[in-house]
Structure 1
Amino acid sequence: MDRLEDPVITHPGMYVPTPKVLFMMADYGHDPTETAVPYTAFKEAKYDIKFATENGKPPRCDKKMLEGFTQKLLGAKKEVISQYKKMIISEEVRHPLAWSDPDFSLDPFDLVIFPGGHDKGVRQIIDSPIVHKLVVDYFPKTKKPSKKVVGAVCHGVMVLSESKDAAGRSVIRDCDTTALPAKFEQAAYWGTRAVLGDYYKTYGHGSENVEDSVKKVLADPAQFKAELNPGPFYVEDKQYNYISARYPVDAELFAEEIIKTIESFHKIA
């Protein structure tokens, strides 16, 4: 996978060789906003985008967030559903790579994205030893002044927190990060339990919150930034080119900040 030769010039003073972007996904269950909004932003920036699922099956996002009363209650906005519909018929989604392929590597990519999602289907990627090995290899290569970037939203952060080296240390052990705050998760779970059961608990009733799963792998729990303001929010680590966000409301800002980071690598003095 060679880098495309044609550069993207986003605005005067900025020169960005076409970045290669990879969305790492489960076959089913990711949040459509956390996937389609960044995809649309990177597409508009003329980035070269690929998707990867375990065996190269085209990914599909969580139907509960796209249709019926669950969509109207807590799901994707109409404009996001429109973006999602365009995304799933794209060549990138129709012909994904297979992250279980023995020859597969994250190395050719400048940006690797891990969307979140509540559906239990996302456990396919969170729990995958294959993905853990790929992430353990790739994530250290994002240490500044590297020009490689990792972005993760919500449960996508758990893919990173569960990716551990031979000594049992998570790749984000020394990073500042956010993810789905426990108070948000608990409010959604208890507010919908009568109708949706344990839908908002990806690992089932009684399982620990995403925030707790992430905090326990950090060198210091204070590295977890649990901003409870419902407005857009993101966290950028100081040591690594790693950007994280909490939930769908953050998706647009998350994508914008990633694009700014990539552009900053190629500023013309």
Structure 2
Amino acid sequence: MILIPLPRYGFDPTEAAVPWKYLSERGVKIVFATPDGKPAATDERLITGEGFGPFKKFLMAAPEAIAAYREMVRSSAFQQPIQYTAIATEKYTAILLPGGHDKGMKTYLESSVLQGKVAEFFAYQKLVGAICHGTVLAARATDQQTKRSVLYEYQTTGLLKNQEMGAYYLTALWLKDYYRTYPVTVEAEVKSALRSSTQFHTGKFSLGRDSETDESPALVVEDRNYLSARWPGDAHTFAKRFFQQLQKME
């Protein structure tokens, strides 16, 4: 059984639904968690493409990801989440941390309760997967013994500065700081939590997105019980690798 925590609003539909669908189809039981125990809602702009102008096709979620999201929100697990405070770490084999850049993500990224739970997953050496802004949540989780980030000694990736700033510059004229969740980029914050910035991996630059049959554009960094990915374009490969690691731990 694995846990997928989400904010009340603003998560990326691809980064949550693609792994959900891949894991569910393979019999993995999934429990969702939200701040108040009510069903989460995705960043609607990524579903509708509203406000993306000429970059709509590139910036919004792909059709198959939207279909997976529609399926996910109809599931009983999604409709009946638990509260962050009700998370009992010992019940789960793994936790999967999706991302998203809408300001609504702050209730997830800044939750001291959720940060503490993530730290427990690391302390118990359970499987932890993080994609995009999900790596920020992992970076903010503090090891209670060392008082450093749980990622301090880990290899990782996360949303790249050039990806974050590229989307911001494309849309800033009319969407303002929509793509800037915080003044500091994801890459900069995650690097600051590591023993050395060389532990952060960028991979090869690609505008292409992976698929179930093509992993070539993707980057997934695996280090012991932790794996990470950069953006929605890595989601299929991230889901596959997460499942492979999950099988080893069960």
TM-score of the aligned structures, taking structure 1 as reference length = 0.84
- Is 1:159 equivalent to 2:137 in the alignment? yes
Aligned to 2:222: 236
Aligned equivalents of 1:165 and 1:254: distance in 2? Answer: 25
Aligned to 2:93: 110
- Is 1:252 equivalent to 2:236 in the alignment? yes
Aligned to 1:132: 115
In angstroms, what is the RMSD of aligned CA positions? Answer: 1.4
Greater share of helix: 2
Aligned to 2:165: 186
Aligned equivalents of 2:157 and 2:196: distance in 1? Answer: 13
The 8 Å contact of residues 156 and 221 in structure 2, kept in 1 or not, is answered as yes
Aligned to 2:210: none
Aligned equivalents of 2:9 and 2:26: distance in 1? Answer: 26
Aligned equivalents of 1:126 and 1:180: distance in 2? Answer: 14
- Is 1:85 equivalent to 2:44 in the alignment? no
The secondary structure found in structure 2 opposite 1:76 is coil
Give ranges in structure 2 of 5+ residues lacking alignment. Answer: 207-216
Aligned to 1:14: none
* Deviation, structure 1 residue 105: 1.8
The 8 Å contact of residues 161 and 217 in structure 1, kept in 2 or not, is answered as yes
* Deviation, structure 1 residue 170: 0.3
Aligned to 2:46: 65
The secondary structure found in structure 2 opposite 1:29 is strand
The 8 Å contact of residues 178 and 244 in structure 1, kept in 2 or not, is answered as yes
Aligned equivalents of 1:229 and 1:106: distance in 2? Answer: 36
The 8 Å contact of residues 43 and 49 in structure 1, kept in 2 or not, is answered as yes
Percent sequence identity over aligned pairs: 35
Aligned to 2:212: none
Aligned equivalents of 2:89 and 2:100: distance in 1? Answer: 22
The 8 Å contact of residues 93 and 249 in structure 2, kept in 1 or not, is answered as no
Structure 1 outlier segments of 4+, above 3 Å:
68-73, 165-168
Structure 2 letter corresponding to 1:77: A
TM-score of the aligned structures, taking structure 2 as reference length = 0.90
> How many residues are treated as equivalent by the alignment?
235
Of 137, 143, 148, the residue aligned with 1:169 is 148
Aligned equivalents of 1:158 and 1:48: distance in 2? Answer: 25
- Is 1:208 equivalent to 2:189 in the alignment? no
* Deviation, structure 1 residue 72: 3.2
* Deviation, structure 1 residue 165: 3.5
Deviations, residues 228-252 of structure 1 (Å, cap 9, x unaligned): 4221111001xx3101000001000
